[in-house]
Structure 1
Amino acid sequence: MSSREPVDRAGSPGKRKVISLKDLDSARNKISEHIRSGNDMERAISDVLSESIDEKTARDLYEGAYRELVLERFVEKAKEMVTDFKERDEIMETLSGMGANEEDARMAFSEAFYEINIRPIVNHIKENLERDVRREDIIDSLVEEGLEKELADKFFSEAFFELYIEPVLETVKEKIEKGVPREEVIEELMGSGIDRELAVELYNSTGYEHFVRPTVELINEWLDEGADQDQVMARLESEGIKGSFAAGLYREALMERKFDEIAVEIRNLLENGVEKEKVMEKISTKFKLEAGEASLLIEDVIRSS
């Protein structure tokens, strides 16, 4: 699967394949530049049309890029207000006055809070790691400065990931993009000092971003076009994706489509005082979920409430 070549998505629906991330990133960046320059939508879209980017994909990218740039404006305003020690409610009200809905305002506030209050701590930890300061010493220093031990551990993990793991993931992504076989990538990671278990985990996590995520999005497009399960599975098979793996991708696409409906059901039950265990039983039965899936969805709803 890692060696499959991306092809034209504008072909017949049954033969469309996943667009390469490189093409998507390039088109997204071009569109963002057009928006920042004040060019109209049609000009931006026409500039990125190619063998791999059809008009529908270009319009989807435009909408996404436009939303990102609007959110950037909200985040910048929130950062100004966080820096000025404004209260959360005042920031949310100001963002609402700028046109942000509740979700966008909450997202902008969270990102601004992170950038102003947390990002400097993570960067400080990275600087110490680059100087070969021991983990225990870094954690102890943060705790002495008043940070809770649990948060110090969390920020250390984030800094470690950014400094040592992210560059490896980028390398893996590039190799997947070039069609390097899975075992060869894993062997190369092991040769750089990473044990096999972690090398496999890094490969799989990058493979998810590069292959699974775009494939699930493509399945959702087919479902939007009215394809039934048999048609989806046949199209996947024509891409070389068969058996339980194809079934798993199809199930993930269905779960995404059902998530909003399930989330509303969970929220209503919790707000009516139903215990978490009972909620899990009810949604497992109603939506034919496994216990683990139900539990994760409940936790997602609780965190987002």
Structure 2
Amino acid sequence: MPARQPPVPIRPHLPLNALRSFEAAGRRLSFTLAGEELGVSQVAISRQVKVLEQWLGAPLFIRSTREVQLTPEGARLLPQVRQALDMLALAAGQVSRRGRRNVLAIQAYTTFAQRWLIPRLARFHEQHPDIEVRLTASVSPVDFDHQDVDAAVRSGDGGGWPGLEADFLTPITLLPVVSPLVLKRRKGRLPAETLMGLTLLHSLARPNDWETWLRANDAEQVVDSRKGLKFESSALAFEAALQGSGVAMGVEVLVQSYLASGALVSPFGQPVRLPGGYYLVRPRHRPVSVAMRRFRDWILAELDTAAGTDG
């Protein structure tokens, strides 16, 4: 015999239109403004709120000629209704294709987006004009349960993301970079001496990179990794290096174009490869859309091409 299914919980027949009207009126503290927001009249909002009050058996608003105020019951109910409606909207948006093209929401680190992804996105659009990529940049951890994000570029060792699929993109290799004009002003001194005399440019998003590189190059006793100028992102540190403010710690894949053009140089010692690298991560439980599959194949191909060119 087939296993018995657990009983389906019985939910009360919620007046969803009334809850939506209540949320708008409670948030705006105005039946008129709530009506304008929802595209109905003030009278319709008032009627829906009365339906909800009768269903609950409790007053939700204190009405006067000039304004409305939430009752204690209304104030207690409002944030929970708002959260529930937000969750419904997010869930519907994740599966709905109504009224939109193939939309792909990608999140990446700020500098990775600026220095690597954005210069190449035009090629993806040329190959797949039917897919709209919506790119956001953030150093904060991605929350796939509460953010409208399909995939994200993150760094790690590939094993620290439970519930996520992770495709390895590229290693993270550290190397200091500096403007050649700075070296010229220092009249050709030896690389180690030059580094000792330069201002270190730090990225607050990658606070340990200088210490890691100096230790691997046996220079931590010579150069103080704590001193120097600090910037919010690596992109800002690179810009300061271009302006001659000092030497920044670069991630090789992000400074390749600077090195290729000669705008920055790296004469200071051995590059240091960190464990792991950059990964493209996405929720394991979600079906892989055609747009997601095409973007994944494209970004992997772009990185393979870049690696082949470097090699």
Q: Name the TM-score class by shorter chain.
A: under 0.3
Normalized per residue, the structure richer in helix is 1
Relative contact order, CA 8 A, sep 6+: which one is greater? Answer: 2
Q: Which has the larger radius of gyration?
A: 2
